[in-house]
């Protein structure tokens, strides 16, 4: 009898334990299901293999009119971000961590400009529309994007002039015209209507021409990622180009694939990078600056060189200054659309104020004469000419250093007075440097190097110098601190001790 009771008791215990066990499993299942639906508590790397999530993400991108060829790369860059933020929950993902990641890809030499921009857009959409992070609107997303910028998104159909586009295509090698005439015409047209700068157009077309010659033995439909990788390695290994040159070539080829071949450039894989070398800038001493300035024979070139040194301007920033950029009341110069399409303010050298006022009077006289001849207004950036049709004929928009002759705009076909050609100033600086008998290579950028170095010598903090130079990264400005270290001046040569 007792044995029967024991068997019944054991059976009850087994059934009870199975019931408890199933309940625990069920509770755990409900908990997992709750975590699944409550996104805030999910770990970021858990999303990587979540097919349903990425189908929803892809559908959202299509609804936002993202180009179908780009969607897979948006997904790729979003997954890359989640993979690097593993073991972090959605709720714990801070804005600081996002900013660190954005800064890292912006500086990454392996990322071309278009790849940085796609990454920024993908992460922005992910955090705003899916994770719904409240700090998204506080992040300046545009500042992390590279200079494909909104400048290139302004469409100017009036620049689609077949005759002028044909003239540009005719400058290519005859063999390229015969084999790729339609392709090159399409590329030039997109560069024009998307309002890329003239210098960018020239650079892109040069690299596209070189690439097409490099792949001359390959059928056009077979040109792909392999050929791009081989070309980039050829530039690094055979041509010994600088890293930025290799990166510029990659950007040009990405443009060729997007708008020429009309297909996305895929992942080209690992390739040999151009070797970078850290070179100290050439800097003139203050006495050397005085000597060079004493050998300028032309007042205009003297003034322009004075602004290069006195305000730390780049060559193109100086020649493209407009009358309205000089603010005499606040003693400052407004630099418009500098490197990276950024504006900044630099000091107006007091000693050049009289000369600048005279220069503006000179520009005013030239402008009045141009108006009497009914010449088309000066070139205006972006779509301002369409928005303000008469602005190009106002004095404020005229170039501070106008060209001596009127020329035909190669893009619009209009007669305009452009700014002084940069090579004219470069030649004047080179001549002044040679006549000064200074045994350093004197060129336009040397004045900018000297501006930064002399400010640091005078005790200005490096952040101030960074702002004046318009550097996005302070590490670029840090190279000028070599004058503060002076490693060779505090050590006596051993031969002098004998």
448 counts as catalytic:
yes
Q: Could you say which of 189, 247, 322, 471 is catalytic?
A: 471
Residue 127 has what DSSP assignment? I
Q: Strand order in 344-347's β-sheet?
A: 326-327, 332-335, 344-347
Q: Which of 145, 186, 448, 454 is catalytic?
A: 448
339 is known as an active-site residue: yes
Q: 124 an active-site residue? A: no
d(CA 235, CA 252): 14
492 carries an active-site annotation: no
User: 67 with 108: CB under 8 angstroms?
Assistant: no
d(CA 220, CA 214): 12
Structure-token match 């639906």, residue found: 37
Determine the 3-state secondary structure of 83 from DSSP: helix
Cα 146 from Cα 162, distance rounded (Å): 30
Instruction: In whole angstroms, give the CA distance from residue 284 to residue 279.
Output: 16
- Where are the alpha helices (H) located in 298-399, listed in sequence order? 299-311, 315-319, 353-372, 384-387
| Residues whose CB falls within 8 Å of the CB of residue 407, separated by 6 or more in sequence, listed in order | 415, 416, 417, 418
Judged by DSSP in three states, 3 sits in helix
Which of 196, 204, 379, 480 is an active site residue? Answer: 480
> Of residues 60, 151, 210, 339, which has the active-site annotation?
339
CA angle 116, 160, 413 (to 5 degrees): 115
Catalytic residue, candidates 147, 418, 445, 482: 445
**Distance separating the N- and C-terminal Cα atoms of the chain:** 114
239: annotated active-site residue: no
Is 471 one of the catalytic residues? yes
| Bridge partners of residue 252, in order along the sequence | none
Catalytic residue among 133, 247, 314, 322: 314
Q: Which two tokens stand for residue 70?
A: 């780009």
Catalytic residues: 314, 339, 445, 448, 471, 480
């Amino acid at each position: 009898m007792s044995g029967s009771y024991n068997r019944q008791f054991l059976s009850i215990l087994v059934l009870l334990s199975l019931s408890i066990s199933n309940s625990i499993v069920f509770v755990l299942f409900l908990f997992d299901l709750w975590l699944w639906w409550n996104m805030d508590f999910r770990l970021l790397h858990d999303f990587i293999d979540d097919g349903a999530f990425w189908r929803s993400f892809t559908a959202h991108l299509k609804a936002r009119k993202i180009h179908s060829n780009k969607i897979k790369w948006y997904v790729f860059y979003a997954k890359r971000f989640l993979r690097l933020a593993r073991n972090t929950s959605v709720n714990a993902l801070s804005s600081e961590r996002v900013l660190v990641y954005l800064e890292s890809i912006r500086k990454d030499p392996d990322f071309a400009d278009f790849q940085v921009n796609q990454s920024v857009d993908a992460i922005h959409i992910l955090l705003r529309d899916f994770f719904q992070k409240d700090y998204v609107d506080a992040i300046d997303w545009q500042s992390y994007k590279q200079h494909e910028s909104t400048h290139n998104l302004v469409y100017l159909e009036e620049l689609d002039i077949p005759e002028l586009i044909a003239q540009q295509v005719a400058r290519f090698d005859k063999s390229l015209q015969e084999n790729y005439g339609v392709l090159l015409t399409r590329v030039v047209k997109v560069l024009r209507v998307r309002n890329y700068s003239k210098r960018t157009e020239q650079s892109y077309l040069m690299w596209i021409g070189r690439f097409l010659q490099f792949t001359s033995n390959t059928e056009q439909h077979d040109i792909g990622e392999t050929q791009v990788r081989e070309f980039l390695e050829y530039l690094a290994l055979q041509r010994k180009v600088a890293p930025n040159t290799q990166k510029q070539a990659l950007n040009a080829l990405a443009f060729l694939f997007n708008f020429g071949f009309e297909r996305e450039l895929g992942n080209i894989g690992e390739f040999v990078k151009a070797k970078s070398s850290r070179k100290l800038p050439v800097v003139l001493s203050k006495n050397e600056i005085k000597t060079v300035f004493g050998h300028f024979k032309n007042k205009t070139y003297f003034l322009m060189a004075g602004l290069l040194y006195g305000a730390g301007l780049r060559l193109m920033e100086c020649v493209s200054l407009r009358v309205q950029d000089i603010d005499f009341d606040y003693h400052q110069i407004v630099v418009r659309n500098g490197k990276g399409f950024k504006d900044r303010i630099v000091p107006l050298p007091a000693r050049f104020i009289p000369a600048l006022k005279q220069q503006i009077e000179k520009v005013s006289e030239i402008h009045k004469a141009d108006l009497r001849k009914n010449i088309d207004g000066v070139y205006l950036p972006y779509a301002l000419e369409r928005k303000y049709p008469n602005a190009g004929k106002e004095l404020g928009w005229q170039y501070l250093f106008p060209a001596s002759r009127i020329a035909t705009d190669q893009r619009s076909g209009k007669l305009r007075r452009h700014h002084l050609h940069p090579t004219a100033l470069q030649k004047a600086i080179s001549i002044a440097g040679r006549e000064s008998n200074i045994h350093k290579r004197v060129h336009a950028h040397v004045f900018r190097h000297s501006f930064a170095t002399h400010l640091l010598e005078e005790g200005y903090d490096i952040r101030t110098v960074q702002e004046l130079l318009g550097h996005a990264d302070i590490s670029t400005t840090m190279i000028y601190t070599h004058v503060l270290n002076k490693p060779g001046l505090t050590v006596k040569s051993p031969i002098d001790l004998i």
